[in-house]
Amino acid sequence: MVEASRQSVMQTTLAPTDVKLVSVSGISDSIECNAVVTPQVEIKNNGVSTITSVDFIYFVDGVDTNYNWTGNLVSEASTFVSLPQFSLSKGLHTFTAVANTTNDAFASNNNSEDKIILANAPGTTDVINTFETVNEMLLVFDEGSSTKYWTRGIPAGNVLNDTENPSNQVYGTNLEGQYSHNTKSYLVSECYDLTTISNPRNKF
């Protein structure tokens, strides 16, 4: 005799009001040559009541900005909300967002994950970058870390030291010594449009 297995359906009771921040899009994982960002946030109504207003707080490099969305989001429906566009200077930036509504039942599902933005800038061809000014700084980022191993400065070691021009600035992984083991760091040039140049060459 074979006894049939029994399965029961687990029922979930929705909270009266709850908004969930599902995801953030509009932010590329690759280098942004035109660092103008328009993030989109997907939210879901995880409650019973229709949501007509959601307050967002989004952080760029830890600086917060408020934005209010109004609409008509019925129970268990989702929608995408475009946050205001913003521009970034060249460098490594962070973005995160928080969504909240009146009488929100669960704050634990209101936060997005941290996003890293690699912002670059357009470069000008036929111009020598001497690295002597802040405007000539390049984009630097390390793999799997928020550190910046490449450094712009005056070298003190034997390899990069220029005895004829001791005040010249350079980029080095260690201005005073050797490169550290097990480190992958990137030094990225500005973004160049080479389609208008015949036989383009990069020289270092």
The dihedrals phi and psi of 72, each to the nearest 5 degrees, come to -145, 95
Query: Rounded mean pLDDT of the chain?
Result: 87
When pLDDT is cut at 50, 70 and 90, the band that residue 34 belongs to is confident
If one compares 163 and 105, the residue with the highest pLDDT of the two is 105
The residues pairing with 60 across neighbouring beta strands, listed in sequence order, are: 63, 95
CB atoms near residue 175 (< 10 Å): 17
Q: How far is CA 36 from CA 69, 140, 153, in A?
A: 21, 19, 29
Q: How far is CA 160 from CA 62, 135, 136, 167, 178, in A?
A: 36, 22, 19, 12, 11
- Ranking 111-115, 180-184, 185-189, 193-197 by mean pLDDT, the lowest is 180-184
Q: What is the pLDDT averaged over residues 22-39?
A: 91
Percentage, residues of the chain above pLDDT 90: 49
Tokens of residue 186, six digits? 């990137």
How much is the pTM? 0.80
Tokens of residue 199, six digits? 């036989």
Give residue limits of the domains in the chain: 19-119, 123-204
Residue pLDDT, tens place only, 141-159: 888 777 778 888 888 766 6
Residue pLDDT, tens place only, 72-81: 999 999 999 9
Which residue stretches of the chain are H helix?
Answer: none
Tokens of residue 23, six digits? 């995801």
> Domain 19-119 has what CATH class?
mainly beta
CB 58 within 8 A of CB 64: yes
End-to-end Cα spacing for the chain: 81
